[in-house]
Structure 1
Amino acid sequence: MEQHKLTIDMNEATIEQLRDHHFALFGLHAIATSASGAPTIWLSAHYLERHVEISWIETYSMFTSRKMAHAPSTKVVATHNYPAPLGSVLTVSGNDGAGIVTPGGPAGHMEIDNAGRTELSAGLCMHDSHGMYQPIGVFDLIDVDLFQPVPKVAFFFSPIPHMAGEIATRSLGPGVLLDYQMARDGSLSIEYDIHDGWAVENRPYARAIKANEPLNPLLLIRSSALQALAMQRQRITSR
C-alpha cells in the first residue's frame, strides 16, 4: 500500500473566488486495461483553503455491477465490491456479479473473469482521501478483463456538484494531469490561480488539461499487451 499526497497552493483572491462560486476539487485516476470503458470521478474535496493537502492510499478492490452504458454523468453503483491486493483474480459466477476472489493473477494486475452468462459492468475501486472505496472507471465485462492501476491522476476545480463514481468522458474544466511515477516520497505540489490556471511550467510531472478535453485518451490506456494477456488468461480459465 503506497501513500500519495498532493499539495495545492493558492492566493487569497483565488480561494475567495472558488469559495464564492462553490467550487470543489475533483480527481480521476488513470488505469491500463484490456476492456472498453469510461473514467469515473474518484476523489473530491469540498473544503478549500489557501494551502490544500489531499492524501490517499493506493488500496484496491474489484467491483461488479449491472451492465450500464458509458454515458456522461451516469453514477456507477457497485453491486458487489471485493477488496484485494494486486495479483488477485475475481471469478464471477452469479448473474448479479457475485464471485470469489483468489490469488494467482498476473503480478501487478487485477483480473476479473466472467464465468456466467450475463454481461456485466466491472472495474477497480481505490481508496479516496476519506478512506472510502470509489470506482476509478467502469468497463464492459464479457469474458476475462485485466486492469493495472497507472500512477497518474487528473485534478479539476469545478462549481458543478459532481459525485464520486460519476462517469466523466470530458474534462470538468481546465485541469492538470500529475504523474506520480516522478513523485519523491509519493508527494507532489503545484500552484493554482483563478486567472492563470495550473502552474505546470518547469514541472515535468505536470501536464495541463484543456477545458472539455476528452479524458479517455489521458486516463484509460487500452493496452494491446493486456488484451493479448487477457486472451491468454481466457484460454487458461476455460480449460
Structure 2
Amino acid sequence: MERHKLTIDMNDATIEQLRDHHFALFGLHAVATSASGAPTIWLSVHYLERRLEVTWQETYSMYTTRHRTMAPSTKVVATHNYPAPLGSVLAVSGNDGAGIVSPGGPAGHLEIDNTGRTDLGAGLCVHDAHGMYQPIGIFDLVDVDLFQPIPKVAFFFSPIPHMAGEIATRALGPGVMLDYSMARDHSLSIEYDLHDGWACDNRPYAKPIDANEPLNPLLLQRSSALQALAMQRQRSTSR
C-alpha cells in the first residue's frame, strides 16, 4: 500500500471565503481501461484548513453493479465489492454481479471477466481520505474489462454538495491535474487562491483544468493496447 499526500496552502482570505460559502474539496482519479465508461467523484474533504493536508492509500478493489447508468450526477452504488491487489482477476458468474477473485491477471492491471449472461456495470475503487473504497469510474462490463490505475488525480473546490461515487463528466470548477509519477515519496504540494486559482506555474506536475472542461479525456485513457489484450484474454477464458 502506497500512502499518497497532497498539501494545499491557502491565505486567510481564501480559506475564510471557502468556509463561508461551504466549499469542499473533491478529487477524481485517472485510469487506463479497455472499456467505455464515465468518471466518478472519488474523494471529498469538507473540513478545510489554511494548510490542508489530504492523504490516501493507493489500495484497490473491483466492484460490480446492476445499475449501468452513465448519466451525470447519478451516484454509483456497488452491488458487490472485492478488495484485490494488482494482477488479480474477478470472475463474475452471478446475474447480480457476484464473483470470485483469483491471481493470474496481467501484471500491474486488474481484470474483471463477465462469464454470466447479464450486462453489468463495473470498475475500480480506491481508498479515499477516510479509508473507504470509492469508485473512480463506472464502465460497461460485457465480456472482459481491464484496468490500470494511472497516478494522476484531478482536484476541485466546489460549493455544490457533490458526493463520492457521483458521475462527473465535466469539471466541477477551475481545477488542477496532479501527476504523482513526478512526486517524491508520493507527496505533492500546491497553493490555491480563490481569485487567482491553482498555482501551476513552475510546477511540471500540475496542469490547470478549465471550469466545465470535459473530464473523460483527462481521466479515462481508453487504451487500444488494453482493448487488444482484453480480446486476447476473452478468447483464452472462453476456451
TM-score range, shorter chain: over 0.9
Q: Which amino acid aligns with 1:46?
A: H
Equivalent position of 2:74 in the other structure: 74
Q: Which residue of 2 aligns with 1:166?
A: 166
Paired amino acid for 2:219: L
Which amino acid is the alignment partner of residue 141 of structure 1? L
Q: Does the CA-based 8 Å contact 1:67-1:119 persist in structure 2?
A: no
Aligned residues: 239
The one-letter code matched in structure 2 to 1:165 is G
Instruction: Report the equivalent of 1:99.
Output: 99
In the alignment, what sits opposite 2:34? 34
The alpha-carbon deviation at position 97 of structure 1 amounts to 0.1
Taking structure 2 as the reference length, the TM-score comes to 1.00
> How far 1:69 sits from its partner (Å)?
1.9
Query: Could you say which residue in structure 2 is the equivalent of 1:22?
Result: 22
Q: Which runs of 4+ in 1 moved over 6 A?
A: none
Shift of 1:67: 3.6
Does structure 2 retain, via aligned residues, the 8 Å contact 1:156–1:173?
yes
TM-score of the superposed pair, with normalisation by structure 1: 1.00
5+ residue gaps, structure 1, are none
- Deviation string 1:119-146 (CA, Å, 9 cap, x unpaired) is 0000000100110000000000000000
| Structure 2 counterpart of 1:71, one-letter code | A
> Does the residue aligned with 2:146 lie in a helix, a strand or coil?
strand
1:179 partnered with 2:198:
no
CA offsets, 1:96-125, max 9 Å, x none?
Answer: 000000000000000000000000000000
**Residue in 2 aligned with 1:89?**
89
Residue correspondence of structure 1 range 217-236 to structure 2 within 5 A: 217-236=217-236
Write out aligned runs for 1:199-218 (5 A): 199-218=199-218
Give the C-alpha shift of residue 234 in structure 1.
0.2
CA distance in 2, matches of 1:16, 1:27: 21
Shift of 1:161: 0.4
**Residue 114 of structure 2: aligned partner:** 114
Write the distance in 2 (CA, Å) between the matches of 1:234 and 1:6. Answer: 38
